[in-house]
Structure 1
Amino acid sequence: MSLLVVNQVTKTYGSSGWSRTGKQAGSGVTDVTFQVEPGMCLGILGESGAGKSTLGKIVLGLLPPDSGSVGFQGMDLYRSDRHTRKRLRRDLQVVFQDCYSAVNPRMTVKQIIGEPLRNYERLSAKEEKLVIAELLETVGLATTDMEKMPDQMSGGQLQRVNIARAIALKPKMIVLDEPVSSLDMIVQKQILYHLRELKEKIGLSYLFISHDVLAVNVLSDEVAIIERGRIVETMETAHMFHCVHPASKRIIHG
């Protein structure tokens, strides 16, 4: 069974009313269909304004589609009851682009990583500290980093903290929304290779949303090209540079 099934999803932003976003009417996503298998990374590659972020929010259960369905672990994400959705949410985590705005600046690293554990687990203070220490080591940070504040860490270090928080509950899938685009090239490479290592080591699945062809090439097994809210071409990443759709050629080859 596929882990994630997005079937004919459409979301259109209105030009007035509560849904006004500054976007033109008719933007969003249209009739988008794809699947993500267990242990797989699917890259969603597209230019700014193509609908990538909208799609990510829909997959995360944050933005109901106008039509179509999102199935996760065999359950409909938007038609399930509250209890089921909470259970599904545990297995579906996210790492955002801006590592600083994704955390509470008044929390320590220990508190940031421990937040999902406190929401879903019943651990003693000692048990929680041990789990956080292990998570920090898993993402290549020192256990002594847990007492630091976000402003005491570099962007790359803090993004590793966000990754540690995302894997704390041992989810089945993580949505990566431009997770390295705000980092310098060397740190980008380190984070991408670490994400790939985690995928291989613990069987994570990723939906990797990006505009960066090289980043998608490093991490993804397959790539779907999105243009003006539509998936125009899907292929194995190994064949990405042999794409045939004009939009794909423009995005991939520049």
Structure 2
Amino acid sequence: MSLLVLENISKTYEASGWFGMKKTSAAKASSSGVRDISLVVEPGMCLGILGESGAGKSTLARIVLGLLAPDHGRVTFQDVDLYRCDRRTRQRLRRDLQVVFQDSYSAVNPRQTVQQIIGEPLRNFERFSAQEEKRIIAELLETVGLRASDMVKTPKQMSGGQLQRVNIARAIALKPKLIVLDEPVSSLDMIVQKQILLHLKELKQHLNLSYLFISHDVMAVHVLSDQVAIIDNGMIMESINTDDLFECNHPVSRRIVHSV
């Protein structure tokens, strides 16, 4: 059974016209929406979604996460239709579908400690004692290359790379089946980017994780992904094995890949 299946997903937007009147904007739809997207993520796989800014990557991420209903098509996660299941089923699936966002600082509550940030999903879905929860958080911090003593820190006491590791620890806390990585390293410097990407690769192998890795960075996608879908103007131009990424056939794909 495939883990995630997108079948003919489309989403367009409405833009304000003269005097506030609503009209369908073809330009907006083509720059931010998606059209007739079909994708499959298998267990243990990282599928890279590669495209330039405005190609529709963020729209696609929100649809997969259950945050934005498509106009047409079907999203199936663990053989359940995300937009046609009941609230209780969606809540059950939520623990197996996590996300790491681009901006590590805006993804957390600045007033919370690292222990509170990572412990949030544990408190939402589990019933651990305070001592057991603290032990699990310490293990998660060590898993992502931080120290157990970091749990008392607040976001402002950490670098961007350290805080992104905290976000990754929070994402893997419930041992999810799939993590959506929405530009997770684009705001970090090159050295930290490489460290985070290699660590994500290690976690994928060690924990048998699956990723949907959304990025505009060709080299980052090449490092982490098993297969790549190249998106432009809201449509999939080409799907290709990562080893063949720099030998893609479609003219638009070649432009995007070689723009690096």
The two structures have a TM-score, normalised by structure 1, of: 0.97
Does 2:111 align with 1:106? Answer: yes
Structure 2 residue matching 1:128: 3-state secondary structure: helix
Does 2:36 align with 1:26? Answer: no
Deviations 1:104-132 (A, max 9, x none): 00000000000000000001000100000
Distance 1:123 1:19 in 2: 50
AA matched with 2:167? N
Does 2:192 align with 1:192? Answer: no
Structure 1 residue aligned with 2:217: 212
Query: How many residue pairs get matched?
Result: 254
Structural RMSD (CA): 1.7
Does 2:235 align with 1:230? Answer: yes
Structure 1 residue aligned with 2:12: 12
Structure 1 residue aligned with 2:132: 127
Structure 2 residue matching 1:188: 3-state secondary structure: helix
Deviations 1:54-96 (A, max 9, x none): 0000000000000001000000000000010001111000000
Which residue of 66, 75, 82 maps to 2:71? 66
Structure 2 residue matching 1:226: 3-state secondary structure: strand
Distance 1:18 1:229 in 2: 25
Deviations 1:211-231 (A, max 9, x none): 000000000000000010000
Structure 2 residue aligned with 1:170: 175
Structure 2 residue aligned with 1:2: 2
Q: Percent identity?
A: 72
Distance 2:252 2:43 in 1: 29
Structure 1 residue aligned with 2:50: 45
Structure 1 residue matching 2:5: 3-state secondary structure: strand
Structure 2 residue matching 1:15: 3-state secondary structure: strand
User: 8 Å contact 1:208–1:220 — kept in the other structure?
Assistant: yes
User: 8 Å contact 1:15–1:24 — kept in the other structure?
Assistant: no
Distance 1:56 1:18 in 2: 29
Distance 1:19 1:189 in 2: 44
Distance 1:189 1:15 in 2: 39
Which residue of 205, 215, 226 maps to 1:221? 226
Structure 1 residue aligned with 2:80: 75
Over 3 Å counting, the alpha-carbon distance change for 1:238 and 1:101 in structure 2 is same
Distance 1:102 1:190 in 2: 20
Structure 2 residue matching 1:79: 3-state secondary structure: coil
User: 8 Å contact 1:8–1:67 — kept in the other structure?
Assistant: yes
User: 8 Å contact 1:29–1:51 — kept in the other structure?
Assistant: yes
In the TM superposition, residue 26 of structure 1 has moved relative to its aligned partner by 2.5
Does 2:207 align with 1:202? Answer: yes
Structure 1 residue matching 2:15: 3-state secondary structure: coil
Does 2:107 align with 1:92? Answer: no
Does 2:154 align with 1:149? Answer: yes
User: 8 Å contact 1:180–1:191 — kept in the other structure?
Assistant: yes
User: 8 Å contact 1:38–1:205 — kept in the other structure?
Assistant: yes
Distance 2:26 2:167 in 1: 29
User: 8 Å contact 1:42–1:224 — kept in the other structure?
Assistant: yes
